[in-house]
Amino acid sequence: MIYLFLTGYTDLLIKAADAAAFFDICRSLGIGPKSQKRDEKSGDIVGRFSQSAAKKLLALAAQRELAVKVVREGGFPMLLTRLLASPASVAGILAAILLFVSAELVLWDVEITGTETLSEGEVEEALAAAGLSRGCFLPRLDTDAVAIRVRQADARIAYVAINLTGTVATVQVRESAPRPEVSLHTPANLVARCDGVVVLPLIYEGKCVVEPGQTVRAGQILASGILDTDNNGIRLTRAAGSVMARTEQTFSVTVPFSYLEKVYTGRSWHEVEVSFFGLAGKVFKNTGNMTDTCDIIKTDKEFVLGARTLPCGVTHTAYRAFEWVTVQRTATEALALAEAELAAALSEASSSRTLLQRVTETSVSDCGVTLICTAVFEEDIAIAAEFFVEQ
């Protein structure tokens, strides 16, 4: 039956009275019907023959004036004839062939492996800047040149290897090794990170040069890494330890009574863009009378087939118009907001130190509310300051 479809078939209607004569013609030519169906009432027979056989049978039947006629023609040749009769179908078939052929000439996907701290998006951006991205023309792609450009452009990437497998590029990345930490043997002093009053120095390496209750300035030495020994002269060491001190910090928060608030007007515009192998085209937009003040929300959606991202997608851009409206706050609202902001700032500042005391002054003017808070913390103010000795 598949053979009959591929070569084409013809259904012939043979009248019951001429059946014997017609089938005798079939016998003489050695051509049998592929299938037969007899009408129960009239006795007429519909037989399916190949197109070439049907032509011969019709010619001989016409010679003998037999009542045989074609009721249906079908198969691939007929389908092709009907398709080719329509210009749109021909154009569609040609476009499909062109797409099929050209699909092998562009890069469909990029697979990135070996990243640890870098994100795949960052690597893809670097690759795109170097000339490799989804939709690029494969015959013109020089993977070695791209790899060299990527390594030179980003210091975080130590090595890149690009392998092409069909229309997929596999990129192996090795990130640069982190800088080695400072050697623990480098001599260093401990100095004050900020002003404060020493509460408790805990020095376990080096010489402590401050006492509890002493006021120190930022940068002042708290513990020295130069040790003067009695027998062996001067010895250099890396001072280590902690110096707990009371420090003071001032926070200021101002909340105005009037402020500008963004209010959306309700008007919006949209644009839809379709991308295909790196080429993009707008398919819809109604941004004719857009205003200047609007938020732009862009959503990119790439089509996915299974685990494979296809090199085509849709970008939807929405524009929402807004206007700035002056809004008034009451004094109570302004004060509450200022206190909340102050609390947040103090909470952040207290994450690595202990808050001992705070004094807050409130000032109200025509413009707004101002809170000035002086906070006292207890914290470790010692930091290492390395020094180098010429030998």
Enumerate binding residues for another protein (CB under 8 A): 16, 19-24, 26-27, 29-32, 36, 38, 43, 45
Comparing CA positions, the residue from 116, 134, 136 lying closest to residue 124 is 134
Q: Which is nearer to another protein, 38 or 320 (CB)?
A: 38
Long-range contacts from 54-58, C-beta under 8 angstroms, 24+ separation: 54/9, 54/10, 54/12, 56/29, 56/31, 57/12, 57/22, 57/25, 57/26, 57/29, 57/31, 58/12
Q: Which is nearer to another protein, 10 or 189 (CB)?
A: 10
Q: What is the largest CA-CA distance in the chain?
A: 138
Environment class of residue 122 by beta-carbon count within 10 Å: exposed (0-12), middle (13-18) or buried (19+)?
middle
**Residues near 39 by beta carbon (within 8 Å), at least 6 away in sequence:** 45, 46
Shortest Cβ 16–another protein spacing (Å): 7
Q: Which is nearer to another protein, 46 or 93 (CB)?
A: 46
Distance CA 211, CA 202 (A): 11
Q: Which is nearer to another protein, 21 or 67 (CB)?
A: 21
Shortest Cβ 12–another protein spacing (Å): 14
Shortest Cβ 75–another protein spacing (Å): 21
Shortest Cβ 47–another protein spacing (Å): 9
Shortest Cβ 19–another protein spacing (Å): 4
Q: Which is nearer to another protein, 37 or 217 (CB)?
A: 37
Q: Which is nearer to another protein, 44 or 271 (CB)?
A: 44
**Residues near 117 by beta carbon (within 8 Å), at least 6 away in sequence:** 156, 175
Shortest Cβ 48–another protein spacing (Å): 12
Q: Which is nearer to another protein, 23 or 377 (CB)?
A: 23
Shortest Cβ 74–another protein spacing (Å): 21
Distance CA 375, CA 350 (A): 10
**Residues near 218 by beta carbon (within 8 Å), at least 6 away in sequence:** 192, 193, 194, 195
